Amino acid sequence: MVLRLYNTLTRQKGDFQPIDPSNVRMYVCGPTVYDYAHIGNARPVIVFDVLFRLLRHIYGPDHVTYVRNITDVDDKINARAAERYPELAPEAAIRKLTEETAAQFHKDIAALGVLAPTVEPRATEHILEMVELCDTLVKNGHAYVAADHVLFDVSSMPDYGRLSNRSLEEMEAGARVEVAPYKKGPMDFVLWKPSKPGEPAWPSPAGIKVPGRPGWHIECSAMSWKHLGKVFDIHGGGIDLTFPHHENEIAQSRCAHGTPVMANLWMHNGFLQVEGEKMSKSLGNFITIHELLEDGWPGEVLRFNMLRTHYRQPIDWTKKSLEESARILDSWRPAIETANGNAPAQSVIDALADDLNTPAAIAELHKLANAGDPGLGSTLRFLGFSGETLRAKAEKQAETAGAMADRVAPLIAARLEARKRKDFAESDRIRDELSAMGIALKDTKNKQTGEIETTWEVMR
RNA sequence: GGCCACGUGGCGGAGUGGUGACGCAGCGGACUGCAAAUCCGCGUACCCCGGUUCAAUUCCGGGCGUGGCCUCCA
């Protein structure tokens, strides 16, 4: 089968051809662990999980290597650690923060139904590779040392800017940032910088005497190199990373390894808004995965809601949409739970094979559901809907129901009595009373006896 | 200011050079004492202005609008 994917490098869809079909290699930029992951962070996690599942389906589960890193060295981390744990020594505070945040991240995304990546490397475990990259780049003339920094010389790379489709002249003309005096060119970026007291520090590359720490960007070049090689198949991340992060990764990796590309295919997921507005802390609409889960949204509902929009489109994250997702998924829960382990429906695979068209795939799921196709459940499971978080939610509701049963049962009995004697005013009054308690009734006629039977549930 | 996306019915959201998915909501019907749930059926859309074409929502140009990047934010 043909998998077609949109490539940011070429700005068009193309047939996916892995370098080695027995080992398809994908790298996705993971979180910088300094705070709760927000719902925007969840998007690439979910989107590339779907791609991972699709690749495993096509090439075999043992023939796909998915690397998603954790960046645990960064200015934001240092600042947050000092702020949150002022009583600890910097090193201990940083370790505590990164470990806690990484654990929280894992907990959050576990609810989203994502498979573990094949490898989840940490930046701090790849300092030696970063140092080696710096040394190589200085040696081959693509980087220079200035003021104890190692800087990448963008003028040494003729097609710098190809991914984000911008030229050096353009960028320099539009630059608003003050240029550090030690830079040769205004767009040169930091590969390595000296550490101030209290900051994480390692022996520096390129003969620099003072200890230092890596710049942004370099960690991904190091980790992808180590785990996937100098050139690999797919590199993914949020669209905001296109520039400068990915552009600079490309520059470092290609110039260090002398390769024409870093990854053949670059994929970027679109941005997310909240209730029609940009998500930002100042607007107070910053939503973390953790909060949504705490509010009682099953992780699978978050996952489904995310996949209802194509990954490259902007998505407007709204409560209304979440509610709709929850309703749909609830109606499919029985199918998930009785799934027979069959292969996923081909119509859904075909939709995904067209640049991960998850909305079209979901439309196909609806068609399966409407046709009563038994393949619905197994296809949903394939897509990462195990039913676990839905069941957990249902059990919680059942618990609430259990606690209310003593109060509800007599009312229902009284209502049935009232109905029998055709006292509908009383019957409706009781129904309203239950409704006010958050109880929804369902009347069904028993086919054998012809009796009306009433079931009830706690409203969402 | 430069670069880049996007603009489809009440809402969400695919797709296509020529019979305009799918879901939610809505409407009609069945069922019901009435509802809810369920089942059956139904309608409505391609931002604006030009151009190319036998034919454009789909291609091209311009405009307007929204969003993103250029500020270590996915």
- For residue A294, the tally of other CB atoms under 10 A from its CB is 9
Give the confidence band of A177 by pLDDT, cuts at 50, 70, 90.
low
Selection from A137, A106, A143, A109 nearest residue A122 by Cα: A106
Per-residue confidence (pLDDT) for residue A343, from 0 to 100:
93
Per-domain residue ranges for chain A?
Answer: 4-269, 273-386, 396-458
Residues in A 279-308 whose C-beta is less than 7 A from nucleic strand B are 279, 308
Per-residue confidence (pLDDT) for residue A220, from 0 to 100:
93
Selection from A71, A32, A73 nearest residue A212 by Cα: A73
Nearest nucleotide over every DNA/RNA strand to the A241 CA, judged by C1' = B74
CB A240 within 7 Å, strand B:
yes
Q: For A220-252, write each residue's pLDDT tens digit.
A: 999 999 999 999 999 999 988 888 899 999 999
Q: What ipTM goes with this model? A: 0.89
User: Residue A285 burial by CB count (10 A; 0-12/13-18/19+): exposed, middle or buried?
Assistant: middle
* Residues of chain A above pLDDT 70, percent: 97
CB A212 within 7 Å, strand B:
no
Among the residue ranges A34-38, A170-174, A272-276, the one predicted with the least confidence is: A170-174
C1' (B53) to CA (A445) span, angstroms? 62
Nearest nucleotide over every DNA/RNA strand to the A186 CA, judged by C1' = B70
CB A443 within 7 Å, strand B:
yes
User: Residue A382 burial by CB count (10 A; 0-12/13-18/19+): exposed, middle or buried?
Assistant: buried
Give the confidence band of A347 by pLDDT, cuts at 50, 70, 90.
very high
The alpha carbon of residue A56 and the mean position of all alpha carbons in its chain are separated, in whole angstroms, by 18
Give the confidence band of A173 by pLDDT, cuts at 50, 70, 90.
low
CB A41 within 7 Å, strand B:
yes
- The single-letter DSSP state of residue A414 is H
CB A70 within 8 A of CB A121: yes
C1' (B41) to CA (A238) span, angstroms? 44
C1' (B58) to CA (A117) span, angstroms? 39
Return positions of chain B under 7 A from a protein CB. Answer: 1-6, 11-15, 21-25, 31-38, 67-74
Domain A4-269 fold is: Rossmann fold (3.40.50)
Q: For A397-426, write each residue's pLDDT tens digit.
A: 888 888 888 888 898 888 988 888 889 888
C1' (B25) to CA (A215) span, angstroms? 51
CA distance A115 to A382: 11
Per-residue confidence (pLDDT) for residue A280, from 0 to 100:
74
CB A74 within 7 Å, strand B:
yes
Q: For A118-169, write each residue's pLDDT tens digit.
A: 999 999 999 999 999 999 999 999 999 999 999 999 989 988 888 887 777 7
- Take residue A127 and report the two structure tokens written for it: 């300092």
Residues in A 45-64 whose C-beta is less than 7 A from nucleic strand B are none
Per-residue confidence (pLDDT) for residue A118, from 0 to 100:
97
Residues in A 243-282 whose C-beta is less than 7 A from nucleic strand B are 243-244, 269-273, 277-279
